[in-house]
Amino acid sequence: MKLNTDLSRIKSRRCDNKDIEKTVRAILDDVRANGDTAVRKYAEQFDGFKGKALEVTQSEIRTAVGNVGADTMRILERAAKEITEYHKNQISKPWEITKPNGAVLGQIVRPIGRVALYVPGGTAAYPSSVLMNAIPAKLAGVKDIAIFTPVKQGGKVSGTILAAASVCGIEKIYKVGGVQAIGAAAYGTQTIPKFDKIVGPGNIYVATAKRLVYGTVDIDMIAGPSEILIIADENANPRYIAADMIGQAEHDTNASSILVTTCKKIIDQTEKELDLQIEILGRKEIIRQSLENFGAVVLVDNLDRAFEISNDIAPEHLEILTQNPRELLSKVQNAGSVFLGEYTPEALGDYMSGTNHVLPTCGTAKFYSPLGVYDFVKFGSYSYYPKRALGGYKDDVVKLAQLEGLDGHAKSVAIRFEKEG
């Protein structure tokens, strides 16, 4: 298939929608006003939930663990081990310095108190998202963690999601997804407590809801449709390139797959491979539409230009398929997660490498980071000054306060050096 060569449509791809925002606001307002009644109403309307209890029972979790089988549990535990090994390096530590004048300054690190993990699970189940969200939160020391995920057909939460929750030691799981889940977590209901932060990927309705409740509650990021950009030289394998582009395109019709290469032959061969590989896949109609809508190929004169384009787009996933990919890492300025070499496919990062797959999209990698342990802690500063140390700054602090017209500030320092009576 022939791919678009114009990036303007992709670069202008929006991750929000005014009509969707109107719908989302109405649901959020209803949940805030009517609590559990509204949550149950929308859970039934959108997900087919017909029960009364919004929380998964421990019996349901044990049953799910037994039903998924030993091999699935082994894989989930292996993935959890890899994710833990990577993310434990992100743990922040407090620090303190003592100055020669006796002043002590430092920083404290405290976990966020209560965190909601959103896990997609309606038409498809994503146990990997449980691991990616829960493990960094656990490493940060968050004590109160709950999963929000929709029920599948039959009114039950996906067994693989419950199994992944068990691997992570998460026992509180709500049978609620979509906008109503975000509203319940942000505002609280009669049975669901208000949370301090909401993290995790979701569709455009979930992403919009997270954006609208930000401020009432913290969020990780506003994520849009998935995307990949591949930088390739003449040594790259077109079969691998096509497979990796398809891997992103199968997410949904708004996913973006871009190839930037120094070799025209690579483009021609990749386009042929796309046709060959798509035909044997179950989601081929979604893949074709995605590639037609937001797929692209760009021929450049050199790799420096390729990285200029990539840094401007700031892709969620960046693959570097060149002869010496690690030597080019320094050229990456903006990307959610970088995959170096032909045997580091993006799908490895989705499941098993240990890096997080909750990533910034739609160009937000210019200022957002992948989900990590640092998202589940907050930092505070502290200081201790003995009188002699404050005395060394007294006059300058008083002067600055007076320059700003804040006489009370000035007096609060000066008074400590005045004689009483």
Q: How many C-beta atoms surround the C-beta of residue 268 within 10 A?
A: 13
Phi/psi for 16 (5° steps) reads -140, 170
Known catalytic residue: 87?
no
Q: Confirm whether 251 is a catalytic residue.
A: no
Q: 234's torsion region: left (phi>0), alpha (psi -120 to 50) or beta?
A: alpha
Six-digit token string for 231: 């930088």
Query: Contact at 8 Å (CB) between 365 and 314?
Result: yes
Q: Which two tokens stand for residue 419?
A: 């004689």
| C-alpha pair distances (Å), 404 with each of 393, 395, 399, 417 | 17, 15, 9, 21
Residue 327, judged by CB atoms within 10 A of its CB (0-12, 13-18, 19+), counts as exposed
Structure tokens at 167: 């691997």
Catalytic residue among 250, 271, 316, 319: 316
How far is residue 37's CA from residue 30's CA, in Å, rounded to a whole number? 9
In the block, tokens 């009509």 appear at 19
Q: Which residues pair with 46 in a beta bridge?
A: none
Q: What are phi and psi of 214, to 5 degrees?
A: -60, 130
Query: What's the rounded Cα separation, in Å, for the pair 33 and 38?
Result: 8
Name, in order, each residue with C-beta under 8 angstroms of 51's C-beta and a sequence gap of 6 or more: 155, 175
Of 300, 373, 285, nearest to 331 by C-alpha is: 300
Q: Catalytic residue among 317, 342, 346, 357, which?
A: 317
Q: The dihedral of CA 256, 347, 170, 376: what is its sign?
A: negative
List the catalytic residues: 316-317
